[in-house]
Amino acid sequence: MEVLNIEGTEDTPKIMLDKGNGIFEISGRSLPEDCAEFYKPVLEWICNYAKEANASTEFVFNLEYFNTASSKLILDVLFALDEIEGTTIHWHYEENDEDMMEAGEEYRDLVEIPFELKSF
């Protein structure tokens, strides 16, 4: 399975999805002009990955900020991951960033995946 590596910009997050090395991460800021188009390859990759997923998948969200349009696509990513046995979500946020902590708590309540919130 090919690695999906999208370099982050000021408005788009860095995305690294690497089955072979067990690296699954979305980090940075998510404000793409067309969120659906930006996240489309991510959702397709996860859908393909689900067919032959690793025994465990540690998926890291390390987002500084995301807009309203991105929040829906992040939820779509979480719902796709919810279908994969052995997945754990690690939601990282800056220690004093209550908005990101609360976003993680809200997402945690919407999915059935083990979901760990961690400040740094």
Task: Spell out the domain ranges in the chain.
Answer: 4-119
Q: What pLDDT, in 10s, does the model give residues 78-106?
A: 999 999 999 999 999 999 999 999 999 99
Which amino acid is it at 83? Answer: E
Q: What pLDDT, in 10s, does the model give residues 21-53?
A: 999 999 999 999 999 999 999 999 999 999 999
Q: What is the pLDDT of residue 18?
A: 98
pLDDT range class, residue 15, cuts 50, 70, 90: very high
Q: Where are the beta strands (DSSP E) in the chain?
A: 4-6, 14-18, 23-30, 57-66, 87-93, 115-119
Q: How many CB atoms lie within 10 A of CB 112?
A: 9
Percent of the chain past pLDDT 70, that is, above it, reads 100
Which amino acid is it at 31? Answer: L
Percent of the chain past pLDDT 90, that is, above it, reads 100
- Which CATH architecture best describes the domain 4-119? 2-Layer Sandwich (3.30)
Place of tokens 């990101």: 100
pTM above 0.85, yes or no: yes
Q: What is the mean pLDDT of the chain?
A: 98
pLDDT range class, residue 69, cuts 50, 70, 90: very high
Burial class for 55, CB neighbours closer than 10 Å (0-12, 13-18, 19+): exposed
- 109 vs 88: CA distance, rounded Å: 14
Q: What is the pLDDT of residue 60?
A: 98
